[in-house]
Amino acid sequence: MELPLLIRAKEDDAGEQFLLTQITDAQNAWPSVQLTPGRMPLPGEQFRFHLDMTQCIGCKCCVVACNEQNGNPAEIQWRRVGEIEGGVYPDTMRHYLSMGCNHCLEPTCMIGCPVNAYTKDPLTGIVLHNAERCIGCQYCTWNCSYGVPQFNPERGVVGKCDMCYGRLTDGREPACVASCPEAAIRIEIVNQEEWRREYAGQANAPGLPNADDSISTTKVTIRHQLPRDIGRVDTSRVEPEHAHWTLIFMTVFTQMAVGAIASMSAAQSIARTTIARVPAAGVVLIALFALGASTLHLGRPIYAFRALSMWRRSWLSREVLFFSLFANAAIAYAGLLWIGSRASLMTGVAAAALGAIAVYASARLYVVAARPAWNSIHTVFEFYLCAAFTGPLLASLFTTKPRHTLIHAATCGVLALLIQQVVKFLWLRHSAVFELRASGDLLRHRLLSLFSLRLGSLAAIALALIFASGSVWIRAACLAAAIGAELLGRYLFFVSVVPKNMAAPYLRGRHAA
C-alpha cells in the first residue's frame, strides 16, 4: 500500500533524467483496476460505491476532487475521510474511511423530506437531490445517520453526493473514483434484493453507523484481522450542536398555546364559566407568532408553502398541516368567544384536539434513528408536558371558577416534567450507546450550569405553585419563569444531542489536509 510518487524529471545539458522512483517494466505508476462496471444496471440492480479500506491512505484527493467537481466551498464536503485506529504500541494500526452518499435502499433523507426534493433514480438507483425543489428545512440532515446531506447557507439549500450522475451515465468515473491514486474507491453494480440479505456483513465497518438505519449500499472491504479496540479517533471530541433558535421559540410557544386553548375549553366545559375574549385572542396571537417565526429556520422561506406537499409520508409536512388546522380552529374559537356564541365550546374542543395531534406530529419529527437522544419516548413526553405545564398556568391568569383545578394541573405538569428530565439524564448517562452517553456527558460537564439552572427552575416553580399560588402576581411570575425554563430546556434539547455519523479525522477540519 504505497502511494505512487509523482515522477519529477529534469533534463540537464547532457539529457540525463533524474527520477524519484525507478520505474521498471513490471511497475506501473497507477494501479490497473476496473473502476466502473462498464454497463448500466439491469432492472432490480443499482450502482454502488465500493471502498477498500486496505488501500485508502487518507490523502483526501477524493475530497478535493469532489469539491472541485461540484463547486463547493472547503467547509462543505460531500465526500469526507475519517480515521479509525486501535492496538497497543508498537502494534498499532490506523485506517482511513472515505465516504460519500451511500445511495441507500431505504434512504431516510428521501423518506423525511417534506417537499419531495429527493428521488431514487429508477435506472441507476442513485439518490438524487433537486436543489430547485429544496426549501432548506435541513430535516434530511437530521435523518441521515451518515451526515451526508450538507446545508449550504449561502445557497439556502441542502446538497449531497450524486455519484457524479452526469459523468457516470456518460461512461466516465465519478470525480472521487478518478482522483484516487490507490483505486480505493470503485463503482460496482449490485442486485438490490440480494443486497438486502447480505448488507449486514459488507456495509458495516468500524467507524460507521449501523447500516440497518437505511440499508446502505456502500460495500466496505476491511482487513481480516483488526485490533479488538479499533474505533473512531474522534470520540473524545464531542461538541454541542446548533441551537436552532427559531425552532426553540416555535416549539415552546405553540405547545403553550395548545395547552392554553385546551385548558380554556376544559374550564368552559367543566365550570360553565365564561372565558375572557382578550386572553383567548392573545393565545391565538402567540400561536401565530410562533408559527410565523418557524419559517425563518428555512433556507428559502419564500417557498415555505411547499412543506405541505408530502403529508402522507413526512412528519414535518404533518406538523405544518395540523398546526395550520389548529391555528385556524383557534382563530374561530376566539372569534366565537368574542361574539358570545354557544358554538365556541365545541370549536375550542376541536382546536384542542387538533393541537394535541400537532404536538404529537412535532415530537415525531425529532424521533429519528440518526439522533439517538431524540429517538425515544422521552421526546414525546417532553413536548406534551410542556403544553400540560405552561398551558394551564397561562389559562389560570384569566379564569375564575376552575382556577384551582388549572393550578393543580400545572403543578402536576411541572412535577412530571422534572421527574422526566432526571430519568432521561440517568438513561443517557448509563447507556452503552456512544451517542447517548456523549449527550449525557455534555449535560454533566459542558452544559452542567444550564442543565442545573433548568432543573432548579422547575423545582422552584413547583414549590411556588404548591405553597403560594393564591396571588395572581405569583402565578404571573411562575408563568414568566416557566417560559424561561422551557426555552432553556428546548435549547438544551437541541444542543446536547449527539448525532450518529461516520468517523471524523483526528485533526479538526480547519487543521486537516
Q: Is the pLDDT of residue 17 over 50?
A: no
What residue type is 425 in one-letter code?
Answer: F
Q: Which helix (H) or strand (E) holds 490?
A: helix 472-495
Q: DSSP H helical segments within 230-276, as ranges?
A: 245-270
Backbone phi, psi, residue 158, to 5°: -95, 155
By the 8 A CB rule, do 398 and 276 touch?
Answer: yes
Identify the residue whose cell numbers are 478518478. 178
Indicate the range of 277-281, 285-289, 449-453, 472-476 predicted with least confidence: 277-281
Q: Which helix (H) or strand (E) holds 236?
A: none
What does the alpha-carbon distance between residue 435 and residue 235 come to, in Å, rounded to a whole number? Answer: 9
Contacts of residue 301, defined as CB under 8 A and 6 or more positions apart, other chains included, come to: 135, 295
Residue 1 is predicted with a pLDDT of: 35
What does the alpha-carbon distance between residue 177 and residue 40 come to, in Å, rounded to a whole number? Answer: 17
Residue 501 is predicted with a pLDDT of: 94
Cβ burial of 76 (10 Å; 0-12, 13-18, 19+) is middle
By the 8 A CB rule, do 63 and 141 touch?
Answer: no
Q: Is the pLDDT of residue 22 over 60?
A: no
Q: What is the CATH code of the structural domain delimited by 45-232?
A: 3.30.70.20
Quickly state the pLDDT bin for 28 (edges 50, 70, 90).
Answer: very low
What does the alpha-carbon distance between residue 215 and residue 496 come to, in Å, rounded to a whole number? Answer: 27
CB atoms within 10 A of CB 450: 15
What does the alpha-carbon distance between residue 170 and residue 164 come to, in Å, rounded to a whole number? Answer: 10
**DSSP per residue over 172-205, as a string?**
---HHHHH-TT--EEEEEEEHHHHHHHHHHHT--
Q: Is the pLDDT of residue 21 over 60?
A: no
Indicate the range of 9-23, 104-118, 226-240, 307-321 predicted with least confidence: 9-23
Contacts of residue 313, defined as CB under 8 A and 6 or more positions apart, other chains included, come to: 111
Q: How do residues 119-161 score in pLDDT, each as one tens digit? A: 999 999 999 999 999 999 999 999 999 999 999 999 999 999 9
Angle (CA) 64-70-71 rounded to 5° is 80
SS3 473: helix
Among the four given CATH numbers 3.40.1360.10, 1.20.1630.10, 3.30.365.10, 1.10.1270.20, the one describing domain 245-495: 1.20.1630.10
pTM here is 0.89
What does the alpha-carbon distance between residue 400 and residue 54 come to, in Å, rounded to a whole number? Answer: 74
Dmax (CA) of the chain: 108
- DSSP structure class, residue 213: G
Domain map of the chain by residue range? 45-232, 245-495
Q: How do residues 369-423 score in pLDDT, each as one tens digit? A: 999 999 999 999 999 999 999 999 999 888 767 788 899 999 999 999 999 999 9
By the 8 A CB rule, do 61 and 181 touch?
Answer: yes
How many residues make up the chain in this entry? 513
Q: Is the pLDDT of residue 224 over 80?
A: yes
Contacts of residue 4, defined as CB under 8 A and 6 or more positions apart, other chains included, come to: 21, 29, 30, 181
Choice between 12 and 456, residue whose per-residue pLDDT is larger: 456
What does the alpha-carbon distance between residue 160 and residue 141 come to, in Å, rounded to a whole number? Answer: 10
The separation between the first and the last C-alpha atoms of the chain, rounded to the nearest angstrom, is 20
Please report, rounded to a whole number, the percentage of residues in the chain having pLDDT higher than 90.
Answer: 76
Q: How do residues 476-499 score in pLDDT, each as one tens digit? A: 999 999 999 999 999 999 999 999
Q: Is the pLDDT of residue 101 over 50?
A: yes
By the 8 A CB rule, do 182 and 51 touch?
Answer: no
Q: Is the pLDDT of residue 18 over 50?
A: no
Q: Which helix (H) or strand (E) holds 40?
A: none
Q: How do residues 311-348 score in pLDDT, each as one tens digit? A: 999 999 999 999 999 999 999 999 998 888 888 889 99
CA distances from 199 to 52, 53, 119, 341 (A): 16, 17, 22, 62
C-alpha cell at 246: 427559531
Choice between 23 and 211, residue whose per-residue pLDDT is larger: 211
